[in-house]
Amino acid sequence: MPSLKDIKKRIGSVKNTQQITKAMKMVAAAKLRRAQDAAVAARPYAEKLQTVMSNLAAREEGDGHPLLIQRGTGRALVILMTADRGLCGGFNANASKEAERFIRANEQGFEDFDLMIIGRKGRDFLRSRIGDKISKVYENITSDATYKTAQLIGEEVVSAYSEEKYDAVFVIYNAFQSAIVQNVTLEQVLPIQPKEAEETGEATIDYIYEPNRGEVLSQLLPKMVEVQIFRALLESNASEQGARMSAMDSASRNASDMIGKLTLQYNRARQAAITKELMEIISGAESIK
C-alpha cells in the first residue's frame, strides 16, 4: 500500500497534467474557430472555380490541355498533409497510414511513388516505414497557411508534372467534418478531372472567351491545382485543431477520473491510519490497566 505522502504526490502531478491538457484544449478550441472560419471562407472561391471549370471542360475536345490529359502509369506523387505537432489523437497516424496503404497497395499500378510530406509528424511516422519514397518535407507551414503557400506548392507540382516527372498527383489529408470527426481523404490533383456539367444539373453556356478559350483554360487549370491544395491545407489545419481539442478534452476527463480514484485511495489510507492509531492507543491503555 502506497503511503499517504506518495498518493498526495501523485494527485498533485495528475492535477498538473490536467491543467496542461485543459489549457491545450482551450488553445485548440480558439485556433479551431479561426481555422474553421478560414476553411468556410475559402469554399465559395473553390465552388465558383469548379462551376466555371465544368462549363469549360464540357466544351473541351480531344486536343485537351496537358493538365487534363490522362497519361500512363509511371511515377506518381503523393502529397501527404499532417501536423507539425503531436498530441492530437489519431490525426497524424491516420493520414500517414492511409498514405502508406495507398503506396503499398498501388491499386492503379504505378511504377513508382514519390512522397511529399507537409508536417513533421508525417515524416517521423513514415521515415522508418517507407523512408526511401520521401522526396520532400515541408515543415511549419500548416498552422498559418496562406494562399501564397498553396501557390508555391501548386507551382512546384504543376511544373514537375509538366516536365513529365510525374504522371499523376494525389493529395491525402484529413477532411474536416466536425471537431470530433475527421475523414482521411484521398483526392486526385493531376491530371485534373473536371466534374461533368451534367452532374451539376446546369445547362452549359456558350461563352465569349477573352482573349480565347485556350488561353483562359491554361490560366485557370493551374489555379485549380492551387485552390485544391489551399483547401486541403485549410481543412487539414482545421482538422488538426479539432482532433487536438477532442484528444485534450478526453485527456482532461481521464485526469479527472484519475484524481477521483486517487483521492478515494488517499482518504481510505488516511482513515486506515487513524483507525490503526486509535487501536494502538486503546490497546496501550488496556495493557496499563
Pick one of 107, 132, 163, 208: the residue that binds another protein (CB under 8 A).
Answer: 208
Return the range that interacts with another protein (CB under 8 A); candidates 166-174, 201-209, 239-247, 281-289.
201-209
Residue number, 80 or 150, with CB nearest to another protein = 150
CA angle 247, 253, 259 (to 5 degrees): 135
217: part of which helix (H) or strand (E)? helix 213-288
Position 147 contacts another protein (CB under 8 A) = yes
Residue number, 146 or 267, with CB nearest to another protein = 146
**At 89, is the secondary structure helix, strand, or coil?**
coil
Pick one of 207, 253, 263, 275: the residue that binds another protein (CB under 8 A).
Answer: 207
Whether residue 14 contacts residue 251, with contact meaning beta carbons closer than 8 Å, is answered with no
Q: Which residues, 148 to 167, sit near another protein by CB under 8 A?
A: 150
Strand pairing category for 75-81 and 112-118: parallel
Q: Can the peptide bond before residue 2 be classed as cis, meaning omega within 30 degrees of 0?
A: no
Position 203 contacts another protein (CB under 8 A) = no
Nearest approach in angstroms of CB 220 to another protein is 7
Strand pairing category for 75-81 and 168-176: parallel
**At 90, is the secondary structure helix, strand, or coil?**
coil
**String of contacts with another protein for each residue 29-68, x by CB under 8 A:** ---------x--xx-xx--xx--x---x------------
Q: Which residues are catalytic?
A: 88
Strand partners, 184: 174
Whether residue 215 contacts residue 33, with contact meaning beta carbons closer than 8 Å, is answered with no
Whether residue 14 contacts residue 259, with contact meaning beta carbons closer than 8 Å, is answered with yes
Grid look-up 478550441 returns 29
Pick one of 1, 211, 284, 288: the residue that binds another protein (CB under 8 A).
Answer: 211
Nearest approach in angstroms of CB 213 to another protein is 8
Return the range that interacts with another protein (CB under 8 A); candidates 71-79, 107-115, 206-214, 246-254.
206-214
Residues binding another protein (CB under 8 A)? 38, 41-42, 44-45, 48-49, 52, 56, 147, 150, 205-211, 215-216, 219-220, 227, 230
